[in-house]
Structure 1
């Protein structure tokens, strides 16, 4: 296991990632995902980093493995009709009492063709910023799949 190199600096925690090099985060940017992400259950500590050059995209960087990072978008920006309803079990696991407490993000994939960027609407990442916890869920009953085109040509 390669853990991210960490050091404390004035104002935040410093980490190293193979994707973006050295970076600093505040405690509020760090999330615990008890089950990790699908395919990466051992990586449970992540941070969200805003990408200045792409304001609608954020990087979900593993703090357990500097090689692991995912680009995320909020689906409402690209898919206005995207809806999900959380079962009571998921609400409890995320300590949610109101829908407004949750942020929904989806992983995007950049393909060789620069005009082909896809979003995984079937397995959104749900974050409770106040509690700094999150879960990736799989939507089996809805018409979503793992490769929705982000921008139609």
Structure 2
């Protein structure tokens, strides 16, 4: 199937790769179907692209690539909702806010995107009892919080 995208114009995707977010994403509750697209360059960034709204796309990263101590404890409700049975089922991504100077870009570690790689079910999981913020620097080895 062909879709319009924010970063790649029109692309052909396999309908088997569509990730279904039953409750949508916060702020985009009617957007339930996305696909994960990769850039040609060997960058850590990927795009979580809506398949219905070409203008809606989120830059995402693997949070463990820049924060080795990052931890996400998934509760039983999330495991059941996403049909997660093993650790291998889980893909965790963080939405990135790109800044003019790439070194100032941040990632939302407080609300990761959780995807079951096999069932293609997804959810943005807001960790209320967390020491992580929505704006963690991704290019700082010490991972400091962005000043407000």
Q: Which consecutive aligned stretches of 4+ in structure 1 deviate over 3 angstroms post-superposition?
A: none
Q: Structure 2 vs 1, CA of residues 29 and 114 (structure 1 numbering), >3 Å: closer, same or farther?
A: same
For 1:116 and 1:28, how far apart are their aligned partners in 2?
35
Please report how far the alpha carbon of residue 138 of structure 1 lies from its aligned counterpart in structure 2 after TM superposition. 0.3
Please report how far the alpha carbon of residue 120 of structure 1 lies from its aligned counterpart in structure 2 after TM superposition. 0.2
- TM-score, length of structure 1 as denominator length: 0.87
Please report how far the alpha carbon of residue 114 of structure 1 lies from its aligned counterpart in structure 2 after TM superposition. 2.8
For 1:42 and 1:137, how far apart are their aligned partners in 2?
17
TM-superposition CA deviations, 1:52-94 (whole Å, max 9, x none) = 1243111100012111000111111111000111110010000
Q: 2:144 maps to which residue?
A: none
Contact 2:111 2:126 in 1 (8 A): yes
Please report how far the alpha carbon of residue 29 of structure 1 lies from its aligned counterpart in structure 2 after TM superposition. 2.4
Q: Does 2:79 align with 1:101?
A: no
Q: Does 2:31 align with 1:43?
A: yes
Q: 1:69 maps to which residue?
A: 57
Q: 2:46 maps to which residue?
A: 58
Work out the number of aligned pairs and report it: 141
Please report how far the alpha carbon of residue 31 of structure 1 lies from its aligned counterpart in structure 2 after TM superposition. 0.6
Q: 2:72 maps to which residue?
A: 84
Q: Does 2:140 align with 1:149?
A: no
- TM-score, length of structure 2 as denominator length: 0.90
Instruction: Give the superposed CA RMSD.
Output: 1.3
Secondary structure of the corresponding residue to residue 56 of structure 1: coil
Q: 1:131 maps to which residue?
A: 119
Q: Structure 2 vs 1, CA of residues 110 and 88 (structure 1 numbering), >3 Å: closer, same or farther?
A: same
For 2:86 and 2:7, how far apart are their aligned partners in 1?
35
Contact 1:29 1:49 in 2 (8 A): no
Q: Does 2:105 align with 1:117?
A: yes
Contact 1:34 1:135 in 2 (8 A): yes
Secondary structure of the corresponding residue to residue 71 of structure 1: strand
